[in-house]
Amino acid sequence: MPSIRQNPHPDSLPDFRNLGVVARALVAVNLLGLAVALASEPAWTRALDAFVQSTVLIEPPLLACLAVLYATAPLVGRLPYWSGCALVVALALALAAATQAALGQFADAGRGRVLLFAAVSATTVLAYLTLHRRAYSPALAEARLQALQARIRPHFLFNSLNAVLALIRKDPRRAERTLEDLADLFRALISDGRNLVRLADEIALIERYAAIEQLRLGERLRMSWELDHAPVDALLPPLLLQPLLENAVYHGVEPGTGIGDVLVRIERRGDRVRMQVENPAHAVGGAGEVSVRAGNHMALDNIRERLMLFFDAEAKLDTRIENGRYRVEIDIPYRTGRA
């Protein structure tokens, strides 16, 4: 899914290879089973017994159904919405019937009840996932993504312009290069935040950003890059790394009087892409600093939400402080395709 606004169709089938979709289906069907047990046996303990017993007939078809859908996701995904739904319900019915035939003697439920439960479960889960998708519908998600569009700190813009002004007389060529870098950065900032970009492009962007910071901060900023194993064809939301690097400089290098080491490490690990940015950890500044420096979580929350919109539960963002170093780590599924 190279873009978040992919479907002209109002509704589409869920992505059955998405961890969030699978997890939601599992939880929803089991909750339904519990509800049925509670409805038939008002006493708690007996209801739980009934539920445990019924799992014999619920789990095998549920897991089988999810496994089949996982395997055939690309094919099923191509079907029109309603045919797809019908197919999913039929699959659930067939698997439930097969299970009842094989394991029926272990549970106290007739074929009719099992099939009814399978049909209701499949329909409910599909309806729930469709509603969930609508809540994150392309239009809404687009609006949210636009609102979440990464913003560069004005502080950075004005300090950079100031640095360029200082270069114009002494080193006009470097001033030109820096303005070109700034232009690229701002082009990326005002570009469409809804399409995935190639990792190679994001790396080029943060290298330009780092060049500008280097000009401002001189030897106080020491950048290291570990990009040899970076999967440059991986797709990721735009401006995912730039805010992390900006945070690293703002919180890790600017408040210190000495040299600040900032490390960017990107590598592929199997079907995952791991991106880390590290900087020296400073205690949040002294008087007058706190109010302005305390913007860190906003940027991280913003990235977290964008990761959620693009990857649902399949992306992770962690932060930790270790040996005086602050590290942000983003872990996303390795996907390639048309950007």
Q: Is 180 in the site for other proteins (CB under 8 A)?
A: no
Cβ atoms of 329 and 321 closer than 8 Å = no
Q: Which is nearer to other proteins, 12 or 159 (CB)?
A: 159
Based on the shown chain and the rule CB under 8 A, indicate whether residue 186 belongs to the binding site for other proteins: no
- Residue 43 per-residue DSSP state: S
Q: Which of 7, 30, 149, 159 binds other proteins (CB under 8 A)?
A: 159
Residues 6+ apart with CB under 8 A from 190: none
Query: Are 240 and 330 within 8 A, CB to CB?
Result: yes
Residues 245-264 that bind other proteins (CB under 8 A): 254-257
Options 11-19, 55-63, 141-149, 152-160: segment touching other proteins (CB under 8 A): 152-160
Of the two residues 86 and 166, which places its CB atom closer to other proteins in the complex? Answer: 166
Alpha-carbon Rg for the chain, nearest whole angstrom, is 26
Member of 49, 108, 192, 289 binding other proteins (CB under 8 A): 289
Neighbours of 156 (CB within 10 A): 18
**Binder of other proteins out of 8, 42, 112, 218 (CB under 8 A):** 218
Instruction: Out of 20, 77, 285, 333, point to the residue binding other proteins (CB under 8 A).
Output: 285
Nearest-approach distance from CB 252 to other proteins, in angstroms: 11
Of 184, 299, 297, 316, give the one whose Cα is nearest residue 243.
299
Question: How many C-beta atoms lie closer than 10 Å to residue 108's C-beta?
Answer: 11
291 lines the binding site for other proteins (CB under 8 A): yes
Determine the length of the chain: 339
Look at residues 237, 233, 230 and name the one whose alpha carbon lies nearest to residue 307: 237
| 82: contact with other proteins by CB under 8 A | no
> What Cα–Cα distance (Å) separates residue 281 from each residue in 205, 225, 255, 299?
24, 19, 10, 17
Residue 167 CB, nearest distance to other proteins (Å)? 7
Identified binder of other proteins from the candidate list 216, 265, 306, 335, rule CB under 8 A = 216
Looking at the Cβ atoms of 103 and 284, the one nearer to other proteins is 284
CB nearer to other proteins: pick between 215 and 303: 215
Query: b/e for 269-278, b at 16 or more Cβ within 10 A?
Result: eeebbbbbbb
CA distance linking residue 14 with residue 21, whole number of Å: 7
Print the binding letters for residues 56-75 with other proteins: x by CB under 8 A, - otherwise.
Answer: --------------------
Among 52, 75, 147, 166, binds other proteins (CB under 8 A): 166
9, 42, 44, 170: residue in contact with other proteins (rule CB under 8 A): 170
Q: State the residues that interact with other proteins by CB under 8 A.
A: 154-155, 158-159, 161-163, 165-167, 169-170, 215-218, 220, 254-257, 285-292
